[in-house]
Structure 1
Amino acid sequence: MLHYLLIPLFILLTLTNAAAQLTDYKVYFGVTARSPEQLVLRQWRQNGQTRFLLLDPRTLETSVADLPPEGVRPRPWSVLEMQLANTAYGRAMHAEKQRDSQLQDAGISRADTTEQGFSLTIDLCPSSKPLTRSVFEAIIQAFEPSEKPIPVTIPITGVWMARHQPDLAYLKNLASRGDLAITWVNHSYHHRFDPRRPLPVNFLLEPNTSLADEVLLNEQAMIQNGLLPSVFFRFPGLVSDKAVFDAVLDFGLLPIGSDAWLAKKQQPKQGSFVLIHANGNEPLGIADFVRLIRQKAASIKNKTWLLYELPRSVANGRGVQ
């Protein structure tokens, strides 16, 4: 495809180096033989080991495990869907299927409405600008010691990771030292966008886009960079159609939207998925968020206005929207 010929050389080299260490990456559905049973989503070879991406269908937490052949039991996706219907994962998947026809902001956009706060999502789309580190410093200053580690969700793209290794190391360090608890979300590998194109043929809807590459190459890049992929996916631009939305579901992933994109002046509610960008391209949204947490300083201190982990919010939110 023409688009793939335009990938910068340093990104191609990154993929080549990753492929030397991580091979045979594929969708693999099944369950673990051990108890409590885990859902198997992916399989690959790395450092001489067969590894699997696992999901706890009760908590929506993922993990990576080295398992022998007898440690997993392959299952057809249709069988797993029925088997998991009464779990948090099954309920979330059912809710997703009610939202698959929207062009913009399809996917779960609000979860546990009893929460006194929201889930913060900080997107890292491709950008030539450096990470807006000041927003993370403001979050840490505002929410410590009320919450530590502070839960944040970061939808990330492969192109951003390839171009911003020092910034990625900065984020990983915030997590390793216990300041942040980061849920990493697949935001596609390339996140293509053409401002001249209408939405129905833009972002992942651009003709000749390989959805499998966008999903699976990005997961491999996340793993290669030491990140744990979550079960969630965010569409670039929050744009999808029924076909591409349902195709993402077929990967076993749960798309997330947002009902509070701050740069668009949408105000958070209890259980909202708040959206800001820290890739240097959205200063107004960052300024609005910093202003918001300053206004809520007393409530944060009293623990009546908090940030919530995305997996837990969705797992607890029987009325996800």
Structure 2
Amino acid sequence: MTTAIPSTFSKKEWDRYVRLGRKLVKKMSGLQFDLGDLMIEMLHERPHGHGEVTEIIESFAHAIGLAPGTLRKYYEVARQWPKAKRRADVSFSVHAELAYTRSRYAKIRKDPLDPFTHERHWTVNEAIRAADRMPHTPTNKEERLAKTRSLLRSDEDAADAVREMLGRPDVRSRVASDHRTRNLMRQAQYEHWDQVEEAVDADEELALEVEEEPEDLSPVVSYDEGPLEILRLLGNFAAFFVSLQKTIPEIHAQDYSEETKEAVLENITKARSFLDWCESAITTGKTDMDKALARLLEDEEGE
């Protein structure tokens, strides 16, 4: 990953400003260490208990026009970096990020590779990485994913992000082509419908509890008086509906061969023919099998 020079600058102009900026940072770093060293001198051989350090830092910061927290940071970083161990060409900010890492004196002597400029020099980003913390600007896939996970700690935020990302065609394609992801999505569908079913059952139970005088809801067909063939037919429909309701959500067509899909579609056609036959028998009284359905069954028996 690299950073491009802003379009309003030529490379020559940009490089000149970078050199000037680095010189100013070097001066500023020297001043920050100077203030930290001054605090070390002021606190040397003075009582360090009962809030004396905080009182001195706050009073001195107020007197010189600095925020107490800023002055304390200068003091604490300066304490971690004796003058002989500091690098004048490395910023105070880098020293601050490395201040509490092990082997910091050895680490700072070796310039890391800056993945943005491909130069060997210390940056705050690389110092944070050297301290085994998440850098401000991720430079590889693992860091980008880790950064994303840290930002999307809330399930609600994560769900919204996934929903938005699925709006991108290439993302959808990559997700759909991953077998593990498809399995997770199917599992999510099962869990969702289980929750829906539980909610419906709970609503029905609540309705029964609050209903004082249930209405007389006699079935359309009396199971005591209905013809046996009708009762069988209704039972077959009920079993068929329940079976499909459980099975259809488990379908994952992207994993099936064309032959498998064709076999299912042929059975759907056959099912429609049987339903048409049943409808004709009920509405017209004719129970003769349709010729097309008869041929379909004959072809199946022939196989």
Kindly indicate whether structure 1 or structure 2 has the higher relative contact order, using CA contacts under 8 Å at least 6 residues apart. 1
Rg larger for? 2
**More strand, by proportion:** 1
TM-score by length of 1: 0.17
TM-score (norm 2): 0.18
User: Structure 1 or 2: larger helix share?
Assistant: 2
